[in-house]
């Protein structure tokens, strides 16, 4: 992954529709997991919430969030702790929404939210 992108040509889904159609994104946003990384994460992928007045930008942000979450969920679980790849969850968050295990999917997402796409470039999938 190199950076945030716009939705592919012909993809006219709204941010809400993108979130509804993605199990991992819906689970992530419905849980407490995003509390620790939320604002920093928005700096990397854009603001998918109604606080963003531009519906096209919201949809692009939701699309980028979904791509990042799917990428992290597909990182080889042999290289991450307390993580199960391809299970539809970002593993490693505590009940309070903080990354509780270093070198987990949750800690990778936290690092991504702070440092950007560079954190994802060298991950084995």
> What's the confidence (pLDDT) of residue 1?
67
- Residue 110, helix vs strand vs coil: helix
Most confidently predicted of 16-20, 25-29, 74-78, 98-102:
16-20
Q: State mean pLDDT over 67-82.
A: 82
> What's the confidence (pLDDT) of residue 95?
65
* Residue 93: band (very low, low, confident or very high) from pLDDT cuts 50, 70, 90: confident
Write the Ramachandran bin of 62: left for phi over 0, alpha for psi from -120 to 50, otherwise beta: alpha
What is the rounded distance in angstroms from the CA atom of residue 31 to the CA atom of residue 6? 26
| Residues counted in the chain | 125
Q: State mean pLDDT over 87-94.
A: 79
* Residue 65: band (very low, low, confident or very high) from pLDDT cuts 50, 70, 90: very high
- Choice among 20-24, 71-75, 78-82, 88-92 with the minimum mean pLDDT: 78-82
Domain boundaries, the chain: 15-121
Percent of the chain with pLDDT over 70: 79
pLDDT in tens, 28-46: 998 865 666 678 999 999 9
Cα–Cα nearest to 24, from 74, 70, 60: 70
Q: pTM of the entire structure?
A: 0.86
What is the rounded distance in angstroms from the CA atom of residue 58 to the CA atom of residue 4? 12
* Residue 82: band (very low, low, confident or very high) from pLDDT cuts 50, 70, 90: low
């Amino acid at each position: 992954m190199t950076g945030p992108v716009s939705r592919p040509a012909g993809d006219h889904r709204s941010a809400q529709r993108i979130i509804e159609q993605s199990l991992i994104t819906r689970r992530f946003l419905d849980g407490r997991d995003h509390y620790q990384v939320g604002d920093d994460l928005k700096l990397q992928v854009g603001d998918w919430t109604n606080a963003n007045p531009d519906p096209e930008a919201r949809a692009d942000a939701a699309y980028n969030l979904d791509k990042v979450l799917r990428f992290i969920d597909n990182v080889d679980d042999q290289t991450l702790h307390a993580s199960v790849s391809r299970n539809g969850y970002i593993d490693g968050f505590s009940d309070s929404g903080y990354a509780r295990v270093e070198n987990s999917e949750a800690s990778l997402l936290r690092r991504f939210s702070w440092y950007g796409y560079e954190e994802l470039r060298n991950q084995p999938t």
